[in-house]
Amino acid sequence: MALVERTYDDSRTVAVETGPDGSHAAPQLSHGQLLLLQRQADGCRFIMEVKLKKELGTSTLKSTGHSGGGCISEGQSYDTDHGRVFVKINHKSEAKLMFDGEMTSLDAMLQTGTVKVPKPLKVIELDTGGAAFAMEHVDMRSLSKYLAQLGEHLADLHLHNQRLKEKQSTEMQTIGKGSGQSDIPVIDKFGFHVKTCCGYLPQVNEWQGDWVAFFSQQRLQHQLQLLEKSYGDREANELWSQLQLKIPHLFADVEVFPALLHGDLWSGNVAECSDGPIIFDPAAFYGHSEYELGITGMFGGFGKAFYNAYHEKIPKSPGFAKRNQLYQLFHYLNHWNHFGGGYRGSSLRIMKDLLK
């Protein structure tokens, strides 16, 4: 058997086995075995849909034929007594943790009123293993018309916590303070109150008061520790031992205020609907607003209109380009952990560039 990389429609790659002639290897199953597998799959689907009916409080659960999903989970739309919903399904043991984080992320962004996201409904543990996540169904198409509006909305999301802080400071100086206070608390640290997953790997979200320490330890170092367990890559470890000493210098004279981030804003997690842009599949936490723009440049799909509108509200700070590379490094390491050595070269190249 050989391993090759297959690129999926979301522009991410995974390793798949091939036969000696380069064809994709598949187990040879008899007709009876195939029928048995189909019956088992149908039985699991029936059990799952019975559970969904109960948990969603609906007597109707009819598949619409609309399906979707990415690298990690599959998805299906259903008509219910309460309207159409979209259900993500994942059979991994960590699926509930992953979906709990996604639901909390969507909820946090929804509360800001800055950017459109699907309304989360419920995370459901499945009797057959794994979990399902039900949310509002939204008719979407590829993002094209609303690029500039997405840039504006994303900047508003990133500025929301800072604006709350400024509003709170103003109210503290006003008689009768608190009459117009937001239900959303001001966050003055970096992290998140639940675990979130970028892909299927849980992120370390414990609160830290210092952004450089948070990002170095709980993002980059965590990824490199996972790589050490899987690959024991000596060159990556040597580069990291040098790079971690240089990272603080990339933030000289830069003030970082915690911003609520989507956390995985690549082009496969954005779209548009009839009334504007929409973002989904988040891995939220409070961090540096520039972090969000690391992955936007990795797979394309965002144009000048998006960046111009974003930076009209949040201008680039000195040293932006180098920090953008640093933030891309996290995503390359994360992809290496998810999809294998195809991302090793890019990860090491960025580390070397940052050390120049």
Question: Out of 264, 275, 281, 353, which one is annotated catalytic?
Answer: 264
In what helix (H) or strand (E) does residue 322 lie, and over which residues does it extend? helix 320-339
Considering only CA atoms, give the Rg of the chain: 22
Cβ(25)–Cβ(86) under 8 Å? no
294, 328 Cβ separation under 8 angstroms = yes
CA–CA separation, 288 vs 265, rounded Å? 14
Q: Verify whether residue 264 is a known catalytic residue.
A: yes
Q: 10 Å Cβ neighbour count for 338?
A: 18
What does each C-alpha distance from 154 to 50, 120, 139, 310 come to in angstroms? 38, 19, 20, 7
Separation CA 228–CA 10 (nearest Å): 27
- Specify the DSSP element, H or E, that contains 170: helix 147-172
Point out the residues that are catalytic.
264
